[in-house]
């Protein structure tokens, strides 16, 4: 891989992207230069992170070193983008800015970093256990070798989808906001078990295992969700009684509108 990579913002997602590359010796920690915003973050990473990386505060005199790196992974909050000031004066065809900022368009990235070729990436929290979903939209003039390199950054921790940029907002809504929606559903169902007399821990375990088993059933047998519904739902039975309540409470509509709202909010960051 490339000799130097800068990581601007070193939170959970950035760690999940970079750490597997260290684990598999695809990248040397000495060749990674990270910027963080606070002294506390700096101290915690130096204390707790298992690899000895080069890490600096964003306002330190050493911070300029990141602009000597050919590849930058931009992993700050979208609201912090205005604080990232490009220092390079000359455009270099090898300079890449890979952004995982929610909702920030390629157009805005190119305006902000005119000396770089820009790539927009959307990924999600399961990347922290190597089961992420990552959507990539390529800026102009990205070479085949550069595409392959960037895909290598993510392929060890996630499944990659190459998408046109206009689909990244809905990709984000489904895959990045989705895990929190699923967590809420797990919590609500386990509370239902609690109401029926189960202990909270057991109820949550049962719900989690049920969801894992259901997903495996759908994937392993290639049945549709409608076919699964027909397999389980019997006339006058318990499942149709549950489904009637969910339809009356407009659960299906609420979930659809939640995804639409997340998508629209992502677009507002452009």
Per-residue confidence band for 270, with pLDDT thresholds at 50, 70 and 90: confident
pTM of full prediction above 0.85: yes
Of residues 209 and 86, the one with the higher pLDDT is 209
The answer as to CATH 3.40.50.300 being correct for domain 5-164 is no
- pLDDT, residue 88, reads 67
Is 70 exceeded by the pLDDT of residue 134?
Answer: yes
- pLDDT, residue 1, reads 59
- pLDDT, residue 94, reads 76
- pLDDT, residue 18, reads 94
Break the chain into its structural domains and give their ranges.
Answer: 5-164, 178-268
Per-residue confidence band for 91, with pLDDT thresholds at 50, 70 and 90: low
- Per-residue burial over 82-97, b if 16 or more Cβ lie within 10 Å, else e, is eebeeeeeeeeeebbb
Average pLDDT over residues 161-169: 95
Paired sense of beta strands 5-8 and 32-36, if any: parallel
Q: pLDDT for 96-122, tens place per residue?
A: 999 999 889 999 999 999 989 999 999
Per-residue confidence band for 227, with pLDDT thresholds at 50, 70 and 90: very high
Q: pLDDT for 13-55, tens place per residue?
A: 999 999 999 999 989 999 999 999 889 999 999 999 999 999 9
The percent of residues in the chain predicted with pLDDT above 90, rounded, is 79
Per-residue confidence band for 204, with pLDDT thresholds at 50, 70 and 90: very high
For 232, phi then psi, to 5°, come to -100, -35
Domain 178-268 class, CATH top level: mainly alpha
Per-residue confidence band for 2, with pLDDT thresholds at 50, 70 and 90: low
- pLDDT, residue 89, reads 63
| Mean pLDDT for the chain overall | 92
- pLDDT, residue 139, reads 85
Cα diameter, the chain: 72
Q: CA–CA separation, 53 vs 29, rounded Å? A: 5
């Amino acid at each position: 891989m490339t000799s130097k990579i800068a990581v601007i913002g070193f939170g959970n997602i950035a760690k999940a992207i970079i750490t597997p590359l260290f684990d598999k010796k695809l990248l040397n920690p000495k060749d990674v230069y990270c910027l963080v915003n606070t002294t506390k973050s700096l101290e915690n990473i130096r204390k707790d992170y298992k690899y000895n990386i080069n890490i600096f505060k964003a306002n330190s005199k050493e911070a300029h070193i990141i602009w000597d790196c050919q590849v930058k992974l931009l992993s700050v909050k979208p609201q912090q983008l205005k604080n990232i000031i490009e220092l390079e004066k000359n455009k270099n065809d090898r300079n890449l800015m890979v952004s995982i900022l929610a909702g920030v368009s390629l157009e805005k990235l190119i305006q902000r970093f005119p000396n770089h070729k820009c790539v927009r990436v959307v990924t999600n929290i399961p990347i922290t256990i190597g089961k992420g979903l990552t959507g990539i939209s390529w800026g102009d003039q990205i070479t085949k070798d550069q595409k392959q390199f960037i895909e290598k950054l993510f392929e060890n921790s996630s499944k990659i989808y190459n998408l046109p940029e206009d689909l990244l907002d809905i990709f984000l809504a489904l895959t990045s906001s989705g895990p929190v929606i699923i967590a809420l559903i797990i919590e609500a169902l386990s509370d239902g078990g609690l109401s029926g007399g189960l202990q909270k821990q057991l109820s949550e375990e049962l719900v989690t295992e049920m969801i894992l088993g259901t997903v495996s059933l759908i994937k392993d047998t290639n049945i549709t969700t409608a076919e699964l519904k027909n397999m389980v739902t019997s006339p006058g039975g318990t499942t149709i009684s549950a489904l009637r309540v969910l339809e009356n409470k407009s659960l299906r509509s609420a979930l659809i509108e939640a995804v639409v709202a997340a998508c629209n909010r992502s677009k507002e960051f452009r």
